[in-house]
Amino acid sequence: MIKKKILVTGGAGFLGSHLCEKLLNQGHEVVCMDNYFTGQKQNVVHLLKNPYFELIRHDVTMPFFIEVDEIFNLACPASPVHYQYNPIKTVKTSVMGAINMLGLAKRIRAKVLQASTSEVYGDPEIHPQTESYWGHVNTIGPRSCYDEGKRVAETLFVNYHKQNKVRIKIIRIFNTYGPRMHPNDGRVVSNFIVQALKGENITIYGEGTQTRSFCYVDDLLEGMVRLMNSREDFTGPVNIGNPGEFTMIELAEKVLKLTGSKSKLIHMPLPTDDPLQRKPDITLAKKELGWEPTIPLEEGLKRTIEYFKTIV
Ligand code: NAD
Ligand code: UDP
């Protein structure tokens, strides 16, 4: 195995911290860069005793200079509550963060992977979503700071590749869950589990008939690392997600069953522009990366519930 030096931006977040861990376990040197907006030192504190792990407080919107072989660009708040808190900053993080990491990759000839999202498809009119679908996004709605920021980031990646020959990879991540999700980030899996464990009402937004496809973190990261290591001329974008599709009512019922909670379901207003349905077509990931998810929702939920039991 070739030992690589790898930069993970947003490395103290939910996905980033698991990624740092996985890369260290594979024998690489990892530099974790984060401004701790939604991530926390707690997520990576157990890695600090590893001499091949380095933690740097830095904002990805500011230029950053380092010598590495690969960059995983994950810095960006991901939950609607967090990314809508300061929408201008969210756009800056996606766009200026992409420019800074691409500029760095160009200068040091590193390979760079962008954590894009199923949100580039917006409220999709085709189902399941394939990579060739251009999306249905409201440019001025409350989700646009995230959706459009991520779309511009993809544009930047593709053009640095075409114009400057930067080696790029774009992963479109569908809803991913697991241990170390922030208990207050407002995402549906963490909300439902925390509510169930505390015996509070389970908050279903709207009728709860909207669907999502939930991927367990270990599966997602396997896909992400395979993409980084994929053949040179495969740039993506590639969907990585679990095609199992569930309504929010079905998710709530599973969480109640697995926690044994007596919490009641209550309905709250559906947020503006909340996508009605979402499910990845993973044909491309299967073909190019030999990847498909292995952890069914119930199994992943059990592991996630065990984690939340230790913190709530
Ligand atoms: P997260 O909020 O836990 O992690 C994001 C990390 O980025 C945090 O540690 C945060 O402090 C850091 N960050 C935010 N702004 C920054 C800035 N300006 N400079 C430096 N660091 C900054 O979210 P996550 O779920 O781990 O998501 C990681 C990445 O994956 C994000 O780019 C997100 O858009 C993408 N993604 C995640 C999902 C999912 O379901 N988890 C789905 C699609 C895309
Ligand atoms: N949702 C819900 N109750 C909650 C939190 C979210 O019903 O307490 C719904 C939300 O309206 C959306 C889905 O769950 O339809 C997924 O929301 P999340 O914020 O996790 O991610 P999104 O895919 O919308 O970015």
Q: 134: domain CATH number?
A: 3.40.50.720
159 occurs within a structural domain? yes
Boundaries of domain holding 129: 5-178+216-241+279-293
Distances, alpha carbon 143 to alpha carbons 153, 238, 245, 249, 274, in Å: 16, 22, 22, 23, 8
122 occurs within a structural domain? yes
pLDDT score, position 1: 78
Helix/strand/coil for 136: strand
Ligand nearest to the CA of 175: 1
274 occurs within a structural domain? no
Q: How far is the CA of 10 from the centre of ligand 1 (A)?
A: 6
Which residues does a 6 A CB cutoff place in the pocket of ligand 1?
A: 9-10, 12-16, 34-39, 59-61, 74-78, 93, 115, 117, 173, 175-176
Q: How far is the CA of 249 from the centre of ligand 1 (A)?
A: 26
Sorted by sequence, the CB contacts under 8 Å of residue 292 that are 6+ apart come out as: 282, 285, 286
Ligand nearest to the CA of 77: 1
pLDDT score, position 86: 97
Q: Give the tens place of pLDDT for each residue, 6-39.
A: 999 999 999 999 999 999 999 999 999 999 999 9
Is it the case that residue 280 has pLDDT exceeding 90?
Answer: yes
* pLDDT class of 51 with cuts at 50, 70, 90: very high
If one counts the domains in the chain, the total is: 1
Ligand nearest to the CA of 274: 2
Q: How far is the CA of 34 from the centre of ligand 1 (A)?
A: 10
Q: Which residues are catalytic?
A: 146
162 occurs within a structural domain? yes
Q: If you average pLDDT over residues 107-121, what whole number do you get?
A: 98
| Full-model pTM | 0.98
Q: Is the CB of 142 under 6 A from ligand 2?
A: no
Q: How many residues does the chain have?
A: 312
Q: Give the tens place of pLDDT for each residue, 214-267.
A: 999 999 999 999 999 999 999 999 999 999 999 999 999 999 999 999 999 999
Q: Is the CB of 114 under 6 A from ligand 2?
A: no
Q: How far is the CA of 77 from the centre of ligand 1 (A)?
A: 4
Q: Say how many C-beta atoms besides its own lie within 10 A of residue 229's C-beta.
A: 11
Sorted by sequence, the CB contacts under 8 Å of residue 289 that are 6+ apart come out as: 223, 226, 227, 230, 238
CA gap 13, 76 in Å, rounded? 9
19 occurs within a structural domain? yes
Task: For the chain, give the mean pLDDT.
Answer: 97
